[in-house]
Structure 1
């Protein structure tokens, strides 16, 4: 291409632009090598202990090609996960097929057998599928690079990952608001302490020491750190201060950590920073770790645009979002504070990463999984789970926690909740989680109570009535009321839409059929008629044969005595009985006869 590309100008290409360079052959001839991942730093891989050697070299070459630029493996953690699965596969082959020495001797039954072996080893269906897929991807790469190395039988098996039904993994749950509040309070307190600590002064324990030798040697070490960034442990200034403290019986275990923490962020500062950023923005933790120092732009009206990279969004990795901007308690202000706190470290370790920190006599700009520091941070702040036990913090659950808190704030309004996702994705991945299930169950219960109470709201009565749907006690369904269409034992919500007769015609069923009708709504006002009918049923026992009585009135009797009356309190039934004695109900007449 000629010249620098400019907007509005036609790009010109020459013959040399269409010439492709010959791909360099793989340089792997051994089983120990380093892969420079596009994200997460270098991955040291060592397969020298695997055998047979020929098969190990073929798999190592395939894994290297998958990890190169343009390959599907871009993160260091993913490459290491593939390497661990390779070791598991070789352990399986050593037991099930010890005579196989190359990929050309592997057939389909070994792939299926590996899947069955994983499940026999106690792996879950989801875990076994994940590890099986890695082996299938590796052999697909071997076949794509050299088809002569793979048998036709194995090539046919590589067309699919597993013949067994796919099982979805359980959704990652969110932390409760109680745990989220503890995490946020602890992180904000630590951020405020960081801003006060990074002043470039000597630690109080050394600055306040009365021994002139210790103070002099500490000043020399302090000046060396200020001018050179960091000093190795074998540096003269470091050794002299160690010797002075040791001969006087003073502690030296955290000497360098105390000195360097006055200049730079340390690995112990990462847990509160990662936690607070993920909780306040809702970013995936891998996106928070990969933020750049210049990730903010277009500040306006208390908000700012945050640029981040989401590698899992294939083809759309570069994304943006608007976040609050202000002091260190806002996402925008916290990111600016981190840039300020890492400014001195960037002088000695130039990097565009947001997190540049000191660790183990050197600077780092790649954040890996800080497991031990997470546990130390949780223990230092005494953060506990919902039931009082020490919290096991998983940074991957913080995004779900942010989403769950937003769901509670919006009262489950999907149009406001589904930010950055379709409604279906937001509902399936972020709303349908165990921690939000009590809210959903409460909402359903409130809706049912509102539906049951609809009859009492539309039919005026001096006192608040207790309505129970008769037929819905077994079959469920929508409950509605129509006070103008009263029948004897219930309020009919659809007298001209009877399940016992054609639509549009009046109900032609006997009056006690209301007890089985989906349209029936039983309220306190109908209890006197039901009690009168119950007395009539009981009186018929003396004049009808027992079998005939059971065939005619048995089901209605069971319905009243076991389902309808137990739904009302003894006081309500007693009041209905008194009303029945004082004012016997009228005989049954269909509503059309009263019009």
Structure 2
């Protein structure tokens, strides 16, 4: 009440629930009580926009509806109001543009149009459900499309055939995929330890590698508890930084939670080059 427009905002908040019943386009919406007002506005639970009713009386909309024999779905005489006309126009406009709410916006925001005029219309409700489904599907597909190229390489430069092989698990190493094991950065077939994968431009990480990556992070964390910190940092520090800062944050909490249940058991000995090499 001490700010500009505070009284208006107070009324707007107090009458919000009543507007949801009456469907009025104005701020002012009241409950008409159990008397004559409640009977006249039974369809809205007794709530009404008094200024809408006043405007309707001045325009003599009731008489116009009676002369034209307008009736509702229940067969009874239709109570014609400005808000009803506006709702009809909003619904018709929404249908003409295929239910696309942003295109319907003329006098209201998309939220207001849907909340007060369109949400009860089956056509618009079906469109809204389709949009929500598409949005969720797109978000899920984008989340699952995480592809990380390590060592400064570009994921977009990976050929489609190689990407498909990696997605199918044909190119897996310990916790990622190798796009070209025959041509290591130093030349020839790669014979480096699995630790080298996390700094190699041939390394590719996809969602299917997430369980192994989480298992690796857990194994490294456990090893830190048993080893001298300086020794651990010298051996695994760079791998830990790449893993926890560059790779795991790319995946959503839901993806990480799902992968947590499928973690394999990884022995840190596998990170080092096999003795027979």
Relative to the length of structure 2, the TM-score reads 0.39
**Structure number, greater radius of gyration:** 1
Could you state the TM-score of these two structures normalised by the residue count of structure 1? 0.19
Which is helix-richer, 1 or 2? 2
